[in-house]
Amino acid sequence: MDQKLRIKEFLDKLKMGNITPNELEELLILLKDAEPQKELKELMSEIWDKSFEYKGTKSGEELLAQLHSKMKVEVKQAEPIIQPSGSYRLKAFMRYAAVFVLALGITWLGNQLIESKKVKPQAITTNEISVSYGSKSRVVLPDGTIVNLNSGSKIKYASNFETNRTVYMEGEAFFKVKKDTKHPFSVQTSKLTIRVLGTVFNVKSYPEENTIETTLVSGSVQIFESDKIHKGKLREVALLKPNEKAVFYKNEPGTKVEVEDRIKDSETSINTIQSDSDLSVISGVKTELYTAWKDNDLVFNNEKFEMIIPKLERWYNVVIENQYKELNNSRLTGKFDVEPIEQALRALQISAGFRYTMEKNKITIYK
């Protein structure tokens, strides 16, 4: 008889409880030389299920140790099962099966069953959404939060987002957060963590820029320095109210004065500026100046030309080389939406008086 069929026959007898000692001995010999059989796995799985209730909190090593310990106990209890008369009966299926498992010595089977019955943790994957220069995007997150992404921006969030509402971002994004008091919503940038429950705000954090800017439209936000710990918690550096803007300075000398001056020049209704070495909070800002981009409007109000250039580059996906350095400090006001880059340049040209050439997406500005 074929070896495989012979093993199956003996296993069937073992299940029924009518295998003889000689047949058991032959089965053990056959199994030592045979590859693990499907029937054997099924039998051992049945033994496993009836042996003890599996607890998902146990590790594989603990379960295997428990199995071995159980088998040793059952061996001592199972010895009287084989009667002197030569007849064989299975008084307790579990005891006999434990002897069988021990005789085989197949640790691989225990491990295999552990792995198949373990409750494996759900893999947490990361979702990433990127927007190239010259484009914008609107995204609805799994919790219902709406995010508008500006050109050259990206966000990341985990697949368990609804219980861990954290977004990692780079670039500029406008958030309309779905309120959930049990699960605060956090935005993490390179330096800051912005935490809210449900609110509307804008964050600008491009890696090539020296500042991270948060503008609050409604609600409230807490701002923490991601790498600063105070009494075991992140150090809070600002608590914003509506129509307030926080500007965090990364590390460039002179940035603070320059940025505050820029905001003063572009705003006409600022109430106060509170600042320390790392951060300024400006009250009474015109939030539409910082959020108009989500409605496809590129707006600048009395801004220096050198600050307008990166906005144009991201908006139109172009590279601008300004060889007319005196133009950098010229202040311009403008608003563009669907105009092509050539039309925008001609409008700026009238105000600032410069010449330019354009080759594909490379623009060079001359005096």
Percent of the chain with pLDDT over 90: 35
Boundary of a domain, candidates 288, 311, 339: 288
- Contact (CB, 8 A) for 131 and 147: no
Same domain membership, residue 356 and residue 266: no
d(CA 99, CA 167): 55
Same domain membership, residue 68 and residue 23: yes
Same domain membership, residue 326 and residue 213: no
274-280 long-range contacts, Cβ below 8 Å, gap at least 24?
Answer: 276/237, 277/249, 278/225, 278/237, 278/248, 278/249, 279/223, 279/237, 279/238, 279/246, 279/247, 279/248, 279/249, 280/246, 280/247, 280/249, 280/256
- Contact (CB, 8 A) for 337 and 298: yes
d(CA 71, CA 51): 10
Nearest CA to 242 among 263, 270, 217, 214? 217
Choice among 70-79, 114-123, 248-257 with the minimum mean pLDDT: 70-79
Query: Structure pTM?
Result: 0.63
Same domain membership, residue 94 and residue 238: no
pLDDT exceeds cutoff 80 at 169: yes
Nearest CA to 127 among 98, 147, 109, 105? 147
Same domain membership, residue 113 and residue 131: no
Residue in the block written with tokens 């609600």? 219
Give the model's pLDDT for residue 334: 86
Same domain membership, residue 263 and residue 211: yes
d(CA 135, CA 315): 7
- pLDDT band for position 196 (cuts 50, 70, 90): very high
Same domain membership, residue 254 and residue 140: yes
- pLDDT band for position 112 (cuts 50, 70, 90): very low
CATH for 180:
2.60.120.1440
What does DSSP assign to residue 114?
A: H
Boundary of a domain, candidates 262, 288, 314: 288
Same domain membership, residue 269 and residue 193: yes
Structurally, how many domains does the chain consist of?
3
Give residue 84's identity as a one-letter amino acid code: P
Same domain membership, residue 149 and residue 78: no
pLDDT exceeds cutoff 50 at 342: yes
Strand partners, 195: 186, 222
Average pLDDT over residues 25-39: 59
Give the model's pLDDT for residue 293: 94
Please tell me which residue, 277 or 49, carries the higher pLDDT value.
277
Same domain membership, residue 330 and residue 214: no
- pLDDT band for position 156 (cuts 50, 70, 90): very high
Give the model's pLDDT for residue 353: 87
Residue in the block written with tokens 């199956």? 8
d(CA 148, CA 140): 9
- pLDDT band for position 17 (cuts 50, 70, 90): low
Average pLDDT over residues 112-116: 49
Over residues 211-239, the pLDDT tens digits come to 899 999 999 999 998 776 655 567 778 89
Same domain membership, residue 171 and residue 83: no
Angle, helices 93-104 vs 107-117, to 10°: value is: 120
Provide the mean pLDDT of the chain: 75
- pLDDT band for position 244 (cuts 50, 70, 90): very high
Supply 145's token pair: 């939060």
User: In terms of residue numbers, what domain contains 362?
Assistant: 297-366
Strand partners, 357: 364
Within 17-150, residue ranges assigned H as helices are 21-33, 38-51, 60-78, 93-104, 107-117
Supply 44's token pair: 């051992």
Average pLDDT over residues 113-125: 57
Over residues 262-303, the pLDDT tens digits come to 666 666 556 666 666 678 888 888 899 899 999 999 998 888
Same domain membership, residue 134 and residue 283: yes
**Cα–Cα distances in angstroms (integers) from residue 100 to residues 40, 182, 192, in the given order:** 11, 53, 62
Boundary of a domain, candidates 76, 91, 117: 117
Over residues 255-267, the pLDDT tens digits come to 666 676 666 666 6
